């Protein structure tokens, strides 16, 4: 039984994407996984599909440090965009950063549900997915 139709990973770290995709598949909780290597690609996809709820993800796992457009910049853009979204999207920051500044900054962004410090375990993933 898949509880989540669409999950989006926004992360440029190939190893992380490779392993997390594998782990998510093993949970059997997600139907479709989409991956973007930077914030801009993800943002463009959301804009293109804002009126197409079927294509939009229920959850985004967002890395912070990425080329072209990083996680913070993505969140900035998304803040002005999300009232137009045809679907409620839950965003988790998923970063290797252990900087207290980053964690505090994330807490102040209402679009962000939580800050997950990498590595992300299978248990934690199941936990997050079940909460939706």
Partner 1 sequence: MEKITDYQYALDVSSIVAITDQRGTIKYVNQNFCNISKYTAEELIGQDHRIINSGYHSKEFIRELWRTIASGKVWKGELKNKAKDGTVYWVDTTIVPFLDPEQKPYQYVAIRSDITNRKIGEEELRNTLKEISDYKYALDESAIVAITDQKGIITHVNNNFCKISKYTAEELIGQDHRIINSGHHPKAFIRTLWKTIANGKVWKGELKNKAKDGTDYWVDTTIVPFLNQQGKPYQYVAIRSDITERKRGEEQIRLNNENALRNANMLEAKNIQLVDFCNIVSHNLRAPLINIAMLVDYIEQSDNEVERLEVLGKIKPVVNHLMEVFNELVESIQVKQDTGIESERLVVQEYLDKVLVGYETQIADYKAIIETDFKEAPEVYFPHKYLESLLTNLISNALKYHSPDREPVIRVKTRKTAPKTIQLTVSDNGLGIDMVLHKDQIFKIRKTFHRHADAKGFGLFMTKTQVEALGGSIWVESMPDVGSTFFIEFINQTT
State yes or no: residue 104 binds partner 1 (CB under 8 A): no
Query: Is 42 within 8 Å of 68 (Cβ atoms)?
Result: no
The mark string for 108-127 relative to partner 1 (x by CB under 8 A, - otherwise) is ----------xx--------
Instruction: Please state, in angstroms and as integers, the Cα–Cα distance from residue 108 to each residue in 31, 85, 95, following that order.
Output: 31, 21, 16
Which position among 24, 62, 69, 128 is part of the footprint of partner 1 (CB under 8 A)? Answer: 69
Half-sphere exposure of 34 (CA within 13 A, CB side): 18
State yes or no: residue 28 binds partner 1 (CB under 8 A): no
Using the contact rule CB under 8 A, the part of the chain among 45-53, 54-62, 93-101, 105-113 near partner 1 is 93-101
Query: Is 62 within 8 Å of 72 (Cβ atoms)?
Result: no
CB of 125 to partner 1, least distance (A): 12
């Amino acid at each position: 039984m898949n509880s989540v139709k669409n999950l989006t990973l926004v992360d440029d770290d190939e190893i992380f994407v490779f392993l997390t995709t594998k782990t998510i598949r093993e949970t059997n909780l997600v139907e479709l996984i989409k991956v973007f290597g930077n914030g801009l690609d993800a943002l463009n996809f959301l804009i293109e599909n804002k009126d197409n709820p079927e294509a939009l993800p229920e959850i985004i796992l967002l890395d912070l440090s990425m080329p072209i457009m990083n996680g913070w910049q993505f969140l900035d853009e998304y803040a002005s965009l999300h009232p137009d979204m045809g679907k409620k999207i839950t965003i988790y920051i998923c970063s290797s950063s252990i900087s207290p500044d980053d964690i505090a900054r994330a807490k102040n962004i209402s679009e962000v549900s939580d800050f997950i410090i990498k590595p992300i375990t299978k248990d934690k993933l199941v936990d997050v997915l079940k909460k939706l």
